[in-house]
Structure 1
Amino acid sequence: MKPIDQRTMARTATARREFLKFAGMTGGMVAAASMSKVAMSAIPEPVIQTSTDTMAPLVPETGRPYTPVVTLNGWTLPWRMNNGVKEFHLVAEPVVREMTPGFKAHLWGYNGQSPGPTIEVVEGDKVRIFVTNRLPEHTSIHWHGQRLPNGMDGVTGLTQPGIPAGKTFVYEFTARRPGTFMYHPHADEMTQMAMGMMGFWVTHPKGNHPLIDPVDRDFCFLLNAYDIDPGSYTPKIMTMLDFNLWSWNSRIFPGIDSLNVRKNDRVRIRMGNLTMTNHPMHLHGHEFEVTGTDGGPVPKGARWPEVTSDIAVGQMRQIEFLADEEGDWAFHCHKSHHTMNAMGHDVPTLIGVDHTGLTKKITKLIPDYMVMGERGMADMAEMDMPIPENTARMMTGEGQFGSVEMGGMFSLVKVRKHQPHGDYSDPGFFNHPAGTVAFEYEGEVPTAERSTDAGASAMPAAHRPAEDIEVKVRKPGGGGHQH
């Protein structure tokens, strides 16, 4: 995580202290589902952020105190206090999001980014959110998981009219319960959510809570997915299942920042899933407990240790663990194709196929042809093949021992003994103590036992072939591809 530059700090301070006064509101500049006279007086200046760095936690200067979260590759939206009401300003607009270095996407989001900024409030806060629509069509915002008046629920046509392009609506309600929530449109959802419109919401407890323990580090991010053809910039919004970019906060590995903590820190990670499928999130080196969902804190007697927690569509999961093992620990979705980038779904499997002679014939017609997948896909991480402009490589990321061969929903939890309290910067690669890294064995290797018995069957098979079918396995020898 990089420190916030002076220009960003000045802009944040301005957003909190200076407000843009709009004239001529009676001419229809502001439309509202339910708006008080106080809300009509002025609109907070919107804060716009385009950096993909993980920003430092936003410590509250006004309102009730709380311990802030850190949004992975994101930031928290500043607010102003207005007669005891915490006021925010969200701007729905087209954005450009760098998903990984060298690859950018044309998305829709809020305040310059997709996902939009995290909103942090405290249980019991009265909140007022101004939502300005700079999209080419109407929109709305649903406050996913919140208890609020029905007319503030944000479902276009059901609880409110859509926010027309160029207009501003106001949502007002009280944050009634602490927890981990989301916000997203409930208008033309197939388009707007597929284009990246979503954001995180955290309501902190107003005091000591019997089910919410204090932690040293509190991270949050959203799981989202896109289908963007190689060489293009805009997601295909009609895709239902075959996405090729699986992301955290619209970032893909190696563009996802690591989660950097101090040894023996109590760590909380909040995750929300707004993709079209479930994600079994797996942490290496530690056990954790699911301590909360979007329904609220989990009773302590209902928790159990896990290393993988499945997050279904539309769900939130809050996990906590003691970071008591030093190292660079992988943290990822355990669906293996979700840790790949820019995948093609119609590529045939060529493992074990003998390409001898074929490659020479093909290169006469296609000089740059390369054999793919003869020995598996790991070689693809090392090939410097030409790819279309603005395309994320399928699997990449360079570790201290070579290619990590990952993409998509993958990052690291970096645990360090000497990481200062409150320091979220990347400490670099872990310095392994002597004798603690797997190494090549150079002694005599004992003969490995192999099973050739298929095992007993539950019942006799019907219509068996007259003779057993023998399948021969081709085992590649050492050396290169023999191109």
Structure 2
Amino acid sequence: MTSRRNFLTGAGAIAGAATAAAVSKVAMAALPDAVTQAKPDTMPPVVPNTGRPYSPVVTLNGWTLPWRMNEGVKEFHLVAEPVVRELAPGVKAHLWGYNGQSPGPTIEVVEGDRMRIFVTNRLPEHTSIHWHGQRLPNGMDGVGGLTQKHIPAGKTFVYEFTARRPGTFMYHPHGDEMVQLAMGMMGFWVTHPRGAHPLIDRVDRDFVLLLNAYDIEPGAYTPKVSTMLDFNLFTFNSRIFPGIDSMNVRQNDKVRIRIGNLSMTNHPMHLHGHEFVITGTDGGPTPKSTRWAEVTTDVGVGQMRQIEFVADQEGDWAFHCHKSHHTMNAMGHDVPTMIGVDHRGVARKITSLIPDYMVMGERGMADMGEMEMPIPHNTARMMGGEGPFGNMEMGGMFTTVKVRRDQKPGDYSDAGWYHHPAGTVAYEFTGTLPSAPRADVPARPAPGSKDVEVQIRKPSGRHLGH
């Protein structure tokens, strides 16, 4: 994590002057440091050392934005800027985001906190920030042209409001929204309860996942911003499997996963091996009378779902979107089907002339997961990720929840693959298969037979008027 202490030089100094002119009531010696993060790793939670205490969240393959206290106000500095995001090892995308990353850093506050958020625009066009789901003064809602002027390139605006209710929220632009969302501009916001809350339980592990999708052609780096539906990369926090970290927990930990969706389609999120309950939505914590156990919940566009479960079953349990093409990478909707045709030699010759040429394998798509098919540079395998038993043939919105009995308290490092007790793994049957039972089906009666129960008579005429 780095800090731009000299940010207020050159264009930054102009931005600071614009801030003071736009919000003259804000007294400040200088902006807070613009802290940035370039690594795509899951960073340790930020434990509060100023302000009200809370139990921090873990942003998978992301981080939490630090703050400073200024006369009782919690101050943050977000920088909207072009970024390079590693989607998976060896695969990068040229996106727009905040503070060096897409999605931007998670903002964590406590119910009742007064916040002051400085937003500096280093994009080539204007922007704004909408605080999705928050209750705040209308002029702080962040809709460019409606509730505020757009933030011009090179300028800094200030947002000030109080965290009025606990819950899980998001932030994203409301200026040239189609382009800026498609380029990855979004982030998570968590408001923790001020004290004991009748509908919000304490948990041992609290994870944050933001769902998004990109349309990046094989071999390319920049998303196509005019795409409406046919996206080919589906991500957790702008990472695709196998580049997504696992969620590591101790056996019998109470686990919360907060899921926000800023893609252009719904995602049925499915957990293996456990049942969960939905304890929160966009509107806040759900009444306990409305909660029931399930293993899949649909997260619609612009929605948030908060699920909780007790991780009482050891193992490496899959967690993924249940739309099958959302667990694949570099998936094109116009990929020709070549099942039954051995075209590998031809494909290699064509790829040397057309780098983004891709087709389905002759036996299905497993060939592509096993790297038998050539792929363009800077393109993730359609299905990848080596597991303890071979290729998992997954991509996109897929990760694992690793539940371990012997995980030490406070140590949530990756424990590696699960060692299954003897006799608990599916195995190949090598005996003699019995004959398959078949139902006795009577022979079909001959035409004209008296046993025929239905007679069909074709109407005469020319079917006029149909």
TM-score by length of 2: 0.89
When residues 407 and 365 of structure 1 are mapped into structure 2, their CA distance, relative to the original with a 3 A threshold, is closer
When residues 363 and 299 of structure 1 are mapped into structure 2, their CA distance, relative to the original with a 3 A threshold, is closer
2:367 is paired with a residue of what secondary structure? helix
Match of 1:346 among 327, 330, 334: 334
Q: Percent identity?
A: 74
* Mapped partners of 1:380, 1:19: distance in 2: 47
1:29 is paired with a residue of what secondary structure? helix
Tell me what 1:235 maps to.
223
Conserved? CA contact 2:338–2:359, under 8 Å: no
Tell me what 1:75 maps to.
63
When residues 364 and 85 of structure 1 are mapped into structure 2, their CA distance, relative to the original with a 3 A threshold, is closer
* Mapped partners of 2:90, 2:434: distance in 1: 47
Conserved? CA contact 1:32–1:170, under 8 Å: no
When residues 393 and 177 of structure 1 are mapped into structure 2, their CA distance, relative to the original with a 3 A threshold, is same
1:448 is paired with a residue of what secondary structure? coil
* Mapped partners of 1:209, 1:441: distance in 2: 53
Determine if the alignment matches structure 1 residue 311 to structure 2 residue 299: yes
Conserved? CA contact 2:268–2:297, under 8 Å: yes
Determine if the alignment matches structure 1 residue 392 to structure 2 residue 380: yes
* Mapped partners of 1:226, 1:32: distance in 2: 37
Tell me what 2:283 maps to.
295
When residues 415 and 37 of structure 1 are mapped into structure 2, their CA distance, relative to the original with a 3 A threshold, is same
When residues 359 and 426 of structure 1 are mapped into structure 2, their CA distance, relative to the original with a 3 A threshold, is closer
Matches within 5 A, 1:379-418: 379-418=367-406
When residues 450 and 350 of structure 1 are mapped into structure 2, their CA distance, relative to the original with a 3 A threshold, is farther
When residues 149 and 227 of structure 1 are mapped into structure 2, their CA distance, relative to the original with a 3 A threshold, is same
When residues 405 and 461 of structure 1 are mapped into structure 2, their CA distance, relative to the original with a 3 A threshold, is farther
Higher mean displacement: 26-35 or 216-225: 26-35
When residues 319 and 121 of structure 1 are mapped into structure 2, their CA distance, relative to the original with a 3 A threshold, is same
* Mapped partners of 1:196, 1:65: distance in 2: 31
* Mapped partners of 1:278, 1:462: distance in 2: 49
Tell me what 1:476 maps to.
none
* Mapped partners of 2:369, 2:83: distance in 1: 30
Which AA in structure 2 matches 1:380? M
TM-fit CA distance, 1:21: 7.1
1:67 is paired with a residue of what secondary structure? coil
Conserved? CA contact 1:211–1:297, under 8 Å: yes
Determine if the alignment matches structure 1 residue 331 to structure 2 residue 319: yes
Tell me what 2:412 maps to.
424
Matches within 5 A, 1:54-453: 54-351=42-339, 353=340, 355=341, 372-449=360-437
When residues 57 and 461 of structure 1 are mapped into structure 2, their CA distance, relative to the original with a 3 A threshold, is farther
* Mapped partners of 1:460, 1:37: distance in 2: 89
Which AA in structure 1 matches 2:62? G
* Mapped partners of 1:27, 1:204: distance in 2: 32
Query: Is there any run of 5+ residues in structure 1 with no aligned partner, and where?
Result: 1-7, 454-458, 464-483
Tell me what 1:473 maps to.
none
2:17 is paired with a residue of what secondary structure? coil
Which AA in structure 1 matches 2:426? A
Which AA in structure 2 matches 1:388? P
* Mapped partners of 2:53, 2:137: distance in 1: 26
* Mapped partners of 1:272, 1:266: distance in 2: 20
TM-fit CA distance, 1:343: 1.1
Conserved? CA contact 2:368–2:381, under 8 Å: no
Conserved? CA contact 2:199–2:285, under 8 Å: yes
TM-fit CA distance, 1:32: 6.9
When residues 370 and 391 of structure 1 are mapped into structure 2, their CA distance, relative to the original with a 3 A threshold, is closer
Conserved? CA contact 1:19–1:43, under 8 Å: no
2:195 is paired with a residue of what secondary structure? coil
When residues 318 and 33 of structure 1 are mapped into structure 2, their CA distance, relative to the original with a 3 A threshold, is farther
* Mapped partners of 2:334, 2:457: distance in 1: 34
Which AA in structure 1 matches 2:163? A
* Mapped partners of 2:206, 2:247: distance in 1: 10
When residues 439 and 97 of structure 1 are mapped into structure 2, their CA distance, relative to the original with a 3 A threshold, is same
TM-fit CA distance, 1:372: 4.2
Which AA in structure 2 matches 1:346? D
When residues 149 and 347 of structure 1 are mapped into structure 2, their CA distance, relative to the original with a 3 A threshold, is same
When residues 370 and 51 of structure 1 are mapped into structure 2, their CA distance, relative to the original with a 3 A threshold, is closer
* Mapped partners of 2:121, 2:440: distance in 1: 66
Conserved? CA contact 2:348–2:374, under 8 Å: no
Which AA in structure 2 matches 1:83? E
The Cα offsets for residues 321-351 of structure 1, whole Å up to 9 and x where unpaired, read as 0000000000000000000000121123344
* Mapped partners of 2:183, 2:280: distance in 1: 28
Higher mean displacement: 24-33 or 289-298: 24-33
Conserved? CA contact 2:15–2:154, under 8 Å: no
TM-fit CA distance, 1:19: 9.4
Alpha-carbon RMSD across the aligned residues, in angstroms, is: 2.9
Query: Is there any run of 5+ residues in structure 2 with no aligned partner, and where?
Result: 442-453, 459-466
Which AA in structure 2 matches 1:219? F
TM-score by length of 1: 0.86
When residues 125 and 304 of structure 1 are mapped into structure 2, their CA distance, relative to the original with a 3 A threshold, is same
What count of residue pairs does the alignment treat as equivalent? Answer: 442
* Mapped partners of 2:97, 2:122: distance in 1: 10
Conserved? CA contact 1:33–1:160, under 8 Å: no
Higher mean displacement: 383-392 or 434-443: 383-392
TM-fit CA distance, 1:359: 5.2
Conserved? CA contact 1:22–1:43, under 8 Å: no
